[in-house]
């Protein structure tokens, strides 16, 4: 039961609720837990999950997340999203045929060359460091 306790009690009712409401929900859930009303807790959490799952399947959000991760070079994370969502327009499950094509389009990052760092004058580095 201990493994079930945190997700049941700490679940946010929605992504837009404020901290004050979170505290109220936490107190109510702790009271239910103490009284042994586990079925009420589970029912509430199932209702929350069904609402969250519907909002999480927003295609626009999935596309934005995919493109943002690809631009950052976080290809592995982006591809996980494609595999999980698999409803992003014009995407497929990663197969043996698709994976090599993706690897060709997104080659591994090259090692940083030492000359790229040493060619910057020390005064410039110091000036830039002070600005941050």
What's the CA dihedral at 16, 21, 27, 28 to 10 degrees? -80
pTM (2 d.p.): 0.39
Burial group, residue 107, by CB count within 10 angstroms (0-12, 13-18, 19+): exposed
Could you tell me the end-to-end alpha-carbon distance of the chain, in angstroms, rounded to an integer? 48
- What pLDDT digit, counting tens, does each position of 66-114 carry? 888 888 888 888 777 665 545 544 555 677 888 888 888 877 777 767 6
Query: How many whole angstroms separate alpha carbon 63 and alpha carbon 67?
Result: 6
What per-residue confidence (pLDDT) applies to 84?
A: 54
**Would the pLDDT of 43 be above 80?**
yes
Helix or strand run (H / E) with residue 39: helix 38-56
Contact call for residues 66 and 88 (beta carbons, < 8 A): yes
Query: How many whole angstroms separate alpha carbon 43 and alpha carbon 55?
Result: 19
Question: Which residues are CB-neighbours of 94 under 8 A, at least 6 positions away?
Answer: 79, 82, 83, 102
What per-residue confidence (pLDDT) applies to 10?
A: 79
**Would the pLDDT of 127 be above 70?**
yes
């Amino acid at each position: 039961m201990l493994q079930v306790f945190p997700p049941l009690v700490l679940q946010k009712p929605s992504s837009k609720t404020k901290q004050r409401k979170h505290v109220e929900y936490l107190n109510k859930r702790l009271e239910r837990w103490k009284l042994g009303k586990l079925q009420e807790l589970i029912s509430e959490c199932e209702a929350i999950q069904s609402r969250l799952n519907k909002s999480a399947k927003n295609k626009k959000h999935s596309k934005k997340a995919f493109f943002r991760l690809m631009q950052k070079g976080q290809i592995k994370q982006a591809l996980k999203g494609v595999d999980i969502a698999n409803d992003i327009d014009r995407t497929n499950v990663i197969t043996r045929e698709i994976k090599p094509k993706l690897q060709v389009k997104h080659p591994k990052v090259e090692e940083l060359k030492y000359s790229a760092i040493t060619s910057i004058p020390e005064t410039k580095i110091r000036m830039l460091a002070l600005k941050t």
